[in-house]
Amino acid sequence: MSPREDDAIARSLRGLRERRIAPVWDRMDEPDAVLFESLWEDLVALGLTAIGLPEEHGGVELEASSLASVLTELGAAAPALGCALIGHLTATALLVNAGVPIGEGRGALAFSPLDARPAARFALAGSLSGAVRVGLAWPSWIVVPARRDTEPRLCVVALRQRGVRFEGRPSSHGLRLFPFGTLTLEGAIPSYEVAWPEAGRTAALADGLVTALLCGMASELADRAMSFAFDRYQGGKMIRDHDAVRALVGPIELARRPLAALALATLTQDEPGDGGASAFAADIVRQAGLDAIQTMGGSGYMQDYGVERYLRDAGTLETSWIHAAARRREIARARFAEMER
Amino acid sequence: MRQEHGLGDFDRFPVAPLLALGAPDVARQCREIVPRARDYVARHLRGRVERWDDEARHDHSFVAWSAIDAAPKYGFLSLYLPGLFGGGNYGPVAASLFAEEIASVDAGISVVFGAHGLALALILASLEMPIIARLGRAITDAERQGKAMLLSLAHTEPAAGSDVEDETDLRRARVVSRFARVAGGYRLDARKVFISNGSVARWHVVTAYGDPARPTETMAAFLVPADARGCEVGRIERKLGQRLSPATEILCDDVFVPEEDAILMPNPGRCIDTTLSVTRGPVGALSAGIIRGVLERTLAYLDRRAELAREQWVTMALADILAALQTSRAVYMESALAAEAWGIARSTNGVPRHVQRAIGRTRWVDRIVGSPFFSVQTRSRYERDVDVERLQQLVAHASIAKVVCSDLAVRSAAQAMEILGDDANDPRWGVEKCLRDAKLAQIFEGTNQINRLHIARGLLKEAH
């Protein structure tokens, strides 16, 4: 896809933000299935729910830069919607990788998309059993990692069936557009069950998409903090003329470019992803959220200025998907194992 | 949430035995206030604040009235009033322990009392004894009747936030609130924002300027009843955290204030600095309380997750949080001790408690101590006791406490969220609430950036 096409994607998403997201921005801080469905339909209409998938599977093949561009724009406009899209795209990519037909409607994962690898969260013996804590944006089907005896299996479970229970409630922190809770499977029958696919690029894809989303959040924080500082007066001069403020907004502004480059590099890498890019980006964006609020002082702390939500969203993304502390340790452990070999 | 760690015990402070020897009155205050605050917390806050926080998210005009209405029984609203005016006579050390104790369960409720204390501190700093005597009597009388007569300090303006927190910055602040002399009093026009206790205070202490172009020379404060004609609560803010401390606009449109309710400050800059010398330190203590809350909540969580608790990285993170708690306590205690030893408390609380008790509180005592003559005497004693340099040192101590402790609180809460992982978003654990609450401590009472400038300003002056 050419740079012109990238621009066209960015323009459509900015249009979506202006026309559809901005008017309901306040309502997007509460779980609302009806609102979510209407926003999802907008994504479907723009063809975004099939991006990155092979055309033979009904997908829209995009270059990495265009994929990054979509998620960066969504990260700036509505991180929670972006997360739901990443969950769906990762779930779909996993199915394609495993040779399973893609289901109708919206998909989700019973694990972090950054962990698109075998895991033993559910036991499979005819039917599925187990429980996991996840955030779910009212999907129609879920990819579940299971283990039959010792063999890792990938299962697809329809949400509306006997034996599937999701008790969700709003997160008390961020990503409040959809509920978080415990997904319990007791005797649930999978629609599909296959051997867990070879380590493909799905985890790297998810890592790149999450990094691009975080890049968009950083970008939005920089824009909001800088425009506030540009207009306000304090201590005998404009806020923008204070070193203390420049020291706060400088690193936020600086975060955009390396995070964009990191997202692109992760989306084009050959190795299976380890979630390292997202962990790195999450630390930066959480600090950017704190610093953007600090730049805006009391105003930044108030919901009306819209900045505090990005801090909360980054925090929830970090704790529920990225698990940065654990991931850093895991990356070091893997590197040591490699050295040993 | 479990308490057996004894994290809040006063006797865990290394300074406790020293205070018992060198300042027995202060040590006694500390031994009184901690269990009293703990009883209040156990009966009226614990197990409720997370639910209230959620209610306040949906209805930002929510007020935790049951917590506020319970306060008079504990004497929390007259803690810092000098004993001669019927107050508890508690000094900065006890005030800090009180702030920590309440904030360990909810920083917002701690701010409800803190904002009341802030307004009271400005009035005490003015050393206008007739007003202090009258207000003191009103607060303690209401308290005896079980009514919470809360105050708010309406000082911040839409275009002047941290600017109004410092004499030098105030000179260049774009303030708009003004007052004008009329027969029998003053007419007041003011627009104030982010006013803690704005919707629950019975009285607002509203600052305004005779000439907004010369704020430092013409600043004055006015006692305005919340139901005064022309005074109204404007927008109620929707906040990231500390939701149990309501913050609102206060609008005064041509409000008449009788002469006796006006505080025309002979030296507004000194009055601001005196106020900050006793109120910024407790923000540090409040932040220490948040760190304690983080630690207690995380330990309660780990009680249920034995496997996680055994992981080395979790142990390291817990050690960091405990170290943050100890560090912040050391720093705020240093500020409180400095304020106790050298601050305004010496001039206003100078009469020992047993003497105050012996004198009792009678109308003639009120008449004497509440006389303008007594104001002049006390003011000159305070100026003699605490010179400009000493006052700046005290403000620097307090600012350091505020900056160090609030930064540590944000960091500790973020670390704890990492430990909780997926469960960090579960409101039952309350750890993420601590992060939201801690963030405001880096902003109010002057942002940490402004505070750093003040700290370094004193340093550079000393270097020259």
Mean pLDDT of chain B: 91
pLDDT digits (tens, 9 = 90+) for B123-165: 999 988 889 989 998 999 999 999 999 999 999 999 888 888 8
CA atoms within 13 A on the CB side of B19: 24
Report yes or no: B175 and B220 within 8 Å, Cβ to Cβ: no
Q: Which fold has domain A122-195?
A: Butyryl-CoA Dehydrogenase, subunit A; domain 2 (2.40.110)
Question: SS3 sequence, chain B?
Answer: CCCCCCCCCHHHCCHHHHHHHHCHHHHHHHHHHHHHHHHHHHHHHCCCHHHHHHHHHHCCCCCCHHHHHHCHHHCHHHCCCCHHHCCCCCCHHHHHHHHHHHHCCCHHHHHHHHHHHHHHHHHHHHCCHHHHHHHHHHHHHHHHCCCCCCEEEECCECCECHHHHCHHHHCCCCCCCEEEEECCEEEEEEEEEEEECCCCCCEEEEEEECCCCCHHHHEEEEEEECCCCCEEEEEECCECCCCCCCEEEEEEEEEEEEHHHEEECCCHHHHHHHHHHHHHHHHHHHHHHHHHHHHHHHHHHHHHCHHHHCCHHHHHHHHHHHHHHHHHHHHHHHHHHHHHHHCCHHHHCCCCHHHHHHHCCCHHHHHHHCCHHHHHHHHHHHHHHCCHHHHHHHHHHHHHHHHHHHHHHHHHHHHHHHHHHHHHHCCCCCHHHHHHHHHHHCCCCCCHHHHHHHHHHHHHHHHC
Any CB–CB contact under 8 A between B425 and chain A? yes
Q: Where in chain A is the domain with CATH 1.10.540.10?
A: 3-98
Any CB–CB contact under 8 A between B161 and chain A? yes
Q: Where in chain A is the domain with CATH 1.20.140.10?
A: 201-340
In sequence order, the β-bridge partners of residue B248 are B195, B236
Closest CA in chain A for residue B175? A234
Asked if residue B360 has pLDDT above 70, the reply is no
Give A63→chain B minimum CA distance, Å.
32
Mean pLDDT of chain A: 92
Note the pLDDT of residue B279. Answer: 93
Tell me if B444 and A290 make a contact (CB, 8 A cut-off): no
Report yes or no: A285 and A255 within 8 Å, Cβ to Cβ: yes
Q: In 3D, which of B349, B292, B286 has the Cα closest to residue B118?
A: B286
- Residue A46 carries which DSSP code? T
Any CB–CB contact under 8 A between B61 and chain A? no
CA separation for the pair B127, B129 (Å, rounded): 6
CA separation for the pair B381, A161 (Å, rounded): 80
CA separation for the pair A341, A328 (Å, rounded): 20
What are the E-state strand segments in chain A? 107-109, 122-125, 127-135, 141-148, 151-158, 164-169, 180-188, 192-195, 233-234, 237-238
CA separation for the pair A118, A102 (Å, rounded): 19
Two structure tokens written together for B414: 């973020």
The helix/strand/coil state of A321 is helix
Q: What's the N-to-C CA distance of chain B in angstroms? A: 52
Which residues in chain B have their CB less than 8 angstroms from residue A320's CB?
Answer: 421-422, 424-425
The helix/strand/coil state of A296 is helix
Which residues in chain B have their CB less than 8 angstroms from residue A32's CB?
Answer: none
Burial (Cβ within 10 Å: 0-12, 13-18, ≥19) of residue B213: exposed
CA A122 vs CA A114, A125, A262, A330, B120: distances in Å: 18, 10, 33, 22, 60
Asked if residue B208 has pLDDT above 80, the reply is yes
**E strand or H helix at A334, and its extent?**
helix A324-340
Note the pLDDT of residue B461. Answer: 62
Two structure tokens written together for B119: 């307004």
Tell me if A319 and B424 make a contact (CB, 8 A cut-off): yes
Give A319→chain B minimum CA distance, Å.
5
CA A313 vs CA A76, A177, B342: distances in Å: 11, 10, 46
Q: Which of B156, B159, B410 lies nearest to residue A233, judging by beta carbons?
A: B159
Q: Which of B159, B241, B443 lies nearest to residue A294, judging by beta carbons?
A: B443
The overall longest dimension of chain A from CA atoms, in Å, is: 73
Closest CA in chain B for residue A248? B449
Q: What are phi and psi of A191, to 5 degrees?
A: -75, -35
Asked if residue B417 has pLDDT above 80, the reply is yes
pLDDT digits (tens, 9 = 90+) for A85-144: 999 999 999 999 888 888 789 999 999 999 877 666 799 998 999 999 999 999 999 999
The model's confidence at residue A63, banded by pLDDT at 50, 70 and 90, is confident
Report yes or no: A237 and A245 within 8 Å, Cβ to Cβ: no
Asked if residue A281 has pLDDT above 90, the reply is yes
CA separation for the pair B113, B394 (Å, rounded): 22
Closest CA in chain A for residue B308? A326
Those residues whose C-beta lies under 8 Å from the C-beta of residue B99, and which sit 6 or more positions away, are B110, B113, B114, B282, B283, B285, B286, B289
Two structure tokens written together for B425: 């978003």
Give A232→chain B minimum CA distance, Å.
8
pLDDT digits (tens, 9 = 90+) for A226-279: 999 998 888 788 889 999 999 999 999 999 999 999 999 999 998 888 899 999
Question: Ranked by mean pLDDT, which of B50-64, B165-179, B353-367 comes out on top?
Answer: B50-64
Any CB–CB contact under 8 A between B237 and chain A? yes
**What is A201-340's CATH number?**
1.20.140.10
Is the dihedral angle over the CA atoms B73, B75, B78, B81 positive or is it negative?
A: positive
Tell me if A235 and B169 make a contact (CB, 8 A cut-off): yes
CA separation for the pair A299, A315 (Å, rounded): 20
Any CB–CB contact under 8 A between B272 and chain A? no
Note the pLDDT of residue B349. Answer: 57
Closest CA in chain A for residue B427? A172
Out of A201-210, B40-49, B347-356, which region has the weakest mean confidence (pLDDT)?
Answer: B347-356
Note the pLDDT of residue B126. Answer: 92
pLDDT digits (tens, 9 = 90+) for A227-242: 999 988 887 888 899 9
Instruction: Please state the ipTM of this predicted complex.
Output: 0.93
Note the pLDDT of residue A120. Answer: 65
Q: Which of A171, A180, A301 lies nearest to residue B240, judging by beta carbons?
A: A301
Q: In 3D, which of A63, A137, A65, A139 has the Cα closest to residue A95?
A: A139
- For residues A201-214, average pLDDT: 94
Asked if residue B60 has pLDDT above 70, the reply is yes
Tell me if B452 and A244 make a contact (CB, 8 A cut-off): yes
Asked if residue B122 has pLDDT above 90, the reply is yes
Give A241→chain B minimum CA distance, Å.
14
Q: Which of A233, A235, A319 lies nearest to residue B420, judging by beta carbons?
A: A319
Tell me if B239 and A248 make a contact (CB, 8 A cut-off): no
Asked if residue B363 has pLDDT above 70, the reply is no
Burial code of B145-164, b = ≥16 C-beta within 10 A, e = fewer?
eeebbbbbbbbbbeebbbbb
Q: Which of A293, A302, A319 lies nearest to residue B238, judging by beta carbons?
A: A302
Give A181→chain B minimum CA distance, Å.
9
Q: What are phi and psi of B319, to 5 degrees?
A: -60, -40
Residues of chain A that touch chain B, judged by Cβ-Cβ distance less than 8 Å: 133-135, 171-175, 180, 232-236, 242, 244-245, 248, 286, 290, 293-294, 297-298, 300-304, 308, 311-312, 315-316, 318-320, 323-326, 329
Closest CA in chain A for residue B58? A30
Note the pLDDT of residue B79. Answer: 94
Any CB–CB contact under 8 A between B167 and chain A? no
Out of A54-58, B18-22, B437-441, which region has the weakest mean confidence (pLDDT)?
Answer: A54-58
CA B459 vs CA A148, B170, B454, B456, B462: distances in Å: 68, 21, 9, 5, 5
Report yes or no: A181 and A252 within 8 Å, Cβ to Cβ: no
- For residues A281-308, average pLDDT: 96
The model's confidence at residue B464, banded by pLDDT at 50, 70 and 90, is very low
Q: Which of A245, A301, A320 lies nearest to residue B439, judging by beta carbons?
A: A301
**What is A3-98's CATH number?**
1.10.540.10
Residue the block writes with tokens 């805006």: A296
Question: Ranked by mean pLDDT, which of A175-184, A191-200, B362-371, B418-427 comes out on top?
Answer: A175-184
Between B94 and B14, name the one with better pLDDT.
Answer: B94
Two structure tokens written together for B399: 């600012």
Note the pLDDT of residue B358. Answer: 59
Tell me if B238 and A325 make a contact (CB, 8 A cut-off): no
What angle is formed at CA B413 by the lines to CA B408 and CA B414, rounded to 5 degrees? 100
Closest CA in chain B for residue A112? B422
